[in-house]
Every structure is written in structure tokens, then in C-alpha cells.
Amino acid sequence: MIVLVVGSGAREHALVLSLAADPEVDAVVAAPGNPGIELVADCEPLADPCDPEAVVALAQRLRADLVVIGPEAPLVAGVADALRLAGIPCFGPSAAAARLEGSKSFAKEVMAAAGVPTALAHVCTTRAEVEDALDALGAPHVVKDDGLAAGKGVVVTDSREAALAHADACLARPGGTVVIEEYLDGPEVSVFCLCDGTTVLALAPSQDFKRVGDGDTGPNTGGMGAYSPLDWLPAGFADLVVERVAQPVVDEMRRRGTPYVGVLYVGLAVTSRGPRVIEFNARFGDPDSQVVLARLRTGLGVLLRAAATGRLEEFGALHWSRSAAVNVVLAAQGYPSAPVVGDPIGGLDELVEEGAVTVLHAGTRRLPSGELVSSGGRVLNILALGDDLAAARGAAYEAVARVELRGSHYRTDIARSATPG
């Protein structure tokens, strides 16, 4: 099986590694890929991953048996639709189904129709509606851009002024719509559900850390780290999420004539009233899927191809490593507001050679001289496996401290609260 992975971040790096480890996969190609992926797979140039014709042409030239779309933007742009129209199996929802991520208000509508537990919400298109919603729901205020925001369109604040400022910025965009939500108090959990339009299969839960600073301080980011497994969750939690959330949503989408094929990321708050949905994403989360993929022992290639071709019901229980996984994100100076790019990165050759951790490239670029430099806000993921969370944390933090990047920063508390002692 030849698999084409579309994307260029750490999530796609992790997908490539997991796919390459599947004995049923003969070759993995990434487009456009990144300097880290180039070390383990072929990379093809792709000027615009949101160009359906370009992606189809590349998949046809490679004779790909499966295309896996990593980021959300190509999905909303209809790349998966074009691939299916060309007869190429694709793991990723149609543009219509990807509205579950592309529009927060649409997701709320689907959840209401499917009877899925979620936060109370007000969809607002004017400043007056925003003010009324803030008054009705009270603080802490949760203000979400209705459209795609790469995981950074949410502000949670006790400040009414800050909430209004973010809402104003969202409303100022063409067709601007903002969603004001009830604050859900409780730990957040990510559950990735593989879907083939009918059948749903949940992966092991993980937890990510969205705020930039230790103790969940500072602004939201795309994610600063993650860990798995979550031993503090009740047994059968993922199955409960399928039963109460993912399966009803997939059934509702099929009823509407927009079957959902791909991964449905379910972000939940575990409240005193049970799990409540915070958000859906139409793709694997980043960095929380990396720790899940690192522990998966069922072949990812055959699993994703089964989802793409309507055969998930053939799978029973998935196989998992007993190891714990911890992923620490190394961010550039100034991230998330104004990341500095173009600085040289050192210390990676030794880490890769030693093999104690996996170095995933998120925002890197190789200059013609061969020097590796930063090219994004989140630069690297340092992912470690261990016999338990304490061992995995120790390995990840020992490694991230050895990376040389001027002004870089990372959280020091990933998985700390879940680690005994």
C-alpha cells in the first residue's frame, strides 16, 4: 500500500512514522512534508495543500492507495471531495462534513439534533447580541470565533473587556460570527474517533495543554504538550464517548446526507454532570494525537484505509502499548503572539542518534547551506515513551533541555499532576 500524507507539521510527522511502521504499508510519501519527515520518508513539493486539483494530480502520479489529510484547511477546501471523485480512497471528511470544525454554530446545531451533551451557547452576529450573551452566561466568559482558527480562536477570561475585544475582532471579519458559551468546569480530555460514515472506533484518550504557561496561565495556543494514557478516567470512558457523542453525531450526519469519514476529534470537559463536548475538530489534534499514535500497536495504514473504504466494522479491539507517552512542545521566542523565526536549531543530531526520544518537526526549515532553522511558532515536539508517566516525563524533559534555540520556551508541567509523587 502506498500512502500519501498531506501536511507539513508535527502531526503529519507522527502520522508518517506510524504509517511507516505498519507492515501492510509499502511506502509513505508526504507533501510538502518537513525536514524531519525527509529523514524517514520521501517528500513531494506541494505549493498549496488546499488546491484539490494539485493534490489529486500528485496522488494519481504516485498511484497512492490512500491519502491522509492532516490539517483542517484542505478539508474545508474540499480536497477530500476531489480525491473521492477521482476514485482515490481518502481519510478525511468532505467539505460539507468538515463544517463540524469549520463552523462552531453548525456543530452546535448538529449536537442539538443528535442529543449530544454540550455547553449552552449563543450564536451572535452583532455587538449587542454578544453583550446580552455575556450577561446571560456570566463569567468566566468563553468566546469562540465561529470559523477556523487553527486552535487559537478561543478566549476564556474573567474580563468582560477582554471577551468583548475578542468578539469584536471576530465580528470584524467578513461574515463574522462569534459563539459565546457556558464555561465548563472540569479537566479536558481529547478522544479521537475513527469514522467510516457508519461505524465509529475510538482511540485511547489523551490530554493536551492549551495555555502557553505553566499552571494553565497566559493565552491559548495550538497546544503546548500532551500525554496518554489517562489512568484517572473511569474504565470504558472512550466507549462512553462513542455511545453518547460520536455515534449519535455520525448517525445525524449520515441522516443529513453528509456521511462523516475520517477522524472526529471530540474535545470534552469531564464535569460533575458527566462529559460535555467543548468542540469538534475534523482532523487529528496537534499535539495530543502524537501521544496516542505513539502508543497504538494496531497497524495505522490498514486502520485508516478501512475507515476510508467503509470497513471499520471488521476491526475488534485495538492493540495498545503498555507504555506511557509524554509530548513536550518547544516554542519559538515570542510565541504565540509574535514568534521569532529564522533562528538556528542545535542539539538534534545527538538526540536522534541516541534514539531515547522521538523528535517531531513542527515549524522548521532547512536552508540551502544545510542549516536547520525555526520557521513557525511551535518548532519541535519532543515525544518520549516510558514504563510509566514519570519515566516518560523524565526522558522528554531531559531531551528538550538539550535543544539549542535562542529564546525558546516550553511548559514544565506537562503530565505533572497525573504523575504520582
Burial class (CB in 10 A: 0-12, 13-18, 19+), 330: buried
**How many angstroms separate the CA atoms of 61 and 4, rounded?**
11
Q: Give mean pLDDT, residues 131-147.
A: 90
Average pLDDT of every residue of the chain: 95
Tens digit of each residue's pLDDT (9 = 90 or more) over 271-305: 988 899 999 999 999 999 999 999 999 999 999 99
Closest to 360 (Cα-Cα) out of 414, 285, 286: 286
Q: What is the pLDDT of residues 252-266, one digit of tens each?
A: 999 999 999 999 999
pLDDT at 154: 85
**Is the model's pLDDT at 149 over the cut of 70?**
no
Length of the chain: 421
The answer to whether the CB of 205 falls within 8 A of the CB of 295 is: no
The model's pLDDT over 372-412, given as tens digits with 9 standing for 90+, comes to 999 999 999 999 999 999 999 999 999 999 999 999 999 99
Percent of the chain topping pLDDT 70: 99
Distance from C-alpha of 226 to C-alpha of 152, rounded to nearest angstrom: 17
pLDDT of residue 36: 98
User: How does pLDDT run across 298-348, given as a tens digit for each residue?
Assistant: 999 999 999 999 999 999 899 999 999 999 999 999 999 999 999 999 999
Q: How large is the greatest C-alpha to C-alpha distance in the chain, in angstroms?
A: 58
pLDDT of res. 421: 67
Instruction: Write out pLDDT tens, residues 229-239.
Output: 999 999 999 99
Going by pLDDT thresholds of 50, 70 and 90, the confidence category of residue 147 is confident
Q: Is the pLDDT of residue 148 over 80?
A: no
